[in-house]
Structure 1
Amino acid sequence: MARILAIDFGTKRTGLAVTDVLQIIASGLTTVNTNELIKFLKEYTNKEQVELFLVGEPKQMDNTASESEKYILPFINNLKKEFPSIPIQRVDERFTSKMAFQTMIDSGLKKNQRKNKALIDEISATLILQSYLYSK
């Protein structure tokens, strides 16, 4: 088996999470500046076997696409072009940022540590991946 890599795409930063090779455990990988994301993914996939990219799909409460979808779609097209052999699946990411923030509170992180937006992005990617694994 190979890893599944989840992507919480943002215009500035992108959170990444990955499974173990048995696809049992979701773990935060890192947060990358979005302008360096494809380069990072190329380096990562050269070292690790990835069988699926999960890309968060932000939706409004009425199930329509979020405003940020207009930035995600060009990224997905680029991802398909750069990694034609790795399939891409979308996962509803509603509330992941709020859940990530609550996770930080529940973990006992101090207020100034909870302001770390990169950590929120990484935890959000982990939540996206975890929800996918639960649904399998």
Structure 2
Amino acid sequence: MARILAIDYGLKRTGIAITDEMQLIASGLTTIPSETVLAFLKDYFSKEKVEKVIIGEPKQMDGTPSESAIIIDKFILLFQKEFPQMLLDRVDERFTSKMAFQTMLDSGLKKNQRKNKALIDEIAATIMLQDYLQYKR
């Protein structure tokens, strides 16, 4: 089996998570500057077998698209142009950043470590991917 990769795309930073080859467990991979995402993915896809990419779909509480949806939609167009054969799925990403911060609190990270927004993005991508795996089962 191939892996599933999740992208928590943001204006400045992008969190990336990946499954194991059996698609059982999601793990944080990295957080990178958003302008480098396509180059990072091109390199990663050349080294690892990935069958699908999950990209967060930001929504308001009422289910309508949030302000950042336009930015993510533009990224998706670039992604599909660069990787036309890659399967792509969208998932609701509401509350993933808040859940990521709570995870940091629960794990006992010190205050200065919890300010690491890159870590929050990576954890948010991991939560999004793990939720996807559970839904898929």
Q: Structure 1 length normalisation: TM-score? A: 0.99
Question: For 1:112, what is the secondary structure of its paired residue?
Answer: helix
Counterpart of 2:122 in structure 1 is: 122
Counterparts of 1:3 and 1:83, CA distance in 2? 16
Counterpart of 1:36 in structure 2 is: 36
- 1:85 Cα deviation after fit: 1.1
Which runs of 4 or more aligned residues in structure 1 lie more than 6 Å from their structure 2 counterparts after TM superposition?
Answer: none
Counterparts of 2:76 and 2:119, CA distance in 1? 23
The total of aligned residue pairs comes to 136
Counterparts of 2:126 and 2:115, CA distance in 1? 18
Counterpart of 1:24 in structure 2 is: 24
Counterpart of 2:63 in structure 1 is: 63
Question: For 2:111, what is the secondary structure of its paired residue?
Answer: coil
Counterpart of 2:5 in structure 1 is: 5
Question: For 2:16, what is the secondary structure of its paired residue?
Answer: strand
Counterpart of 2:89 in structure 1 is: 89
Q: Structure 2 length normalisation: TM-score? A: 0.98
Counterpart of 2:75 in structure 1 is: 75
- Which letter does structure 2 place at the counterpart of 1:83? F
Structure 1 position 47 matched with structure 2 position 56: no
Counterparts of 2:4 and 2:81, CA distance in 1? 18
- Which letter does structure 2 place at the counterpart of 1:87? L
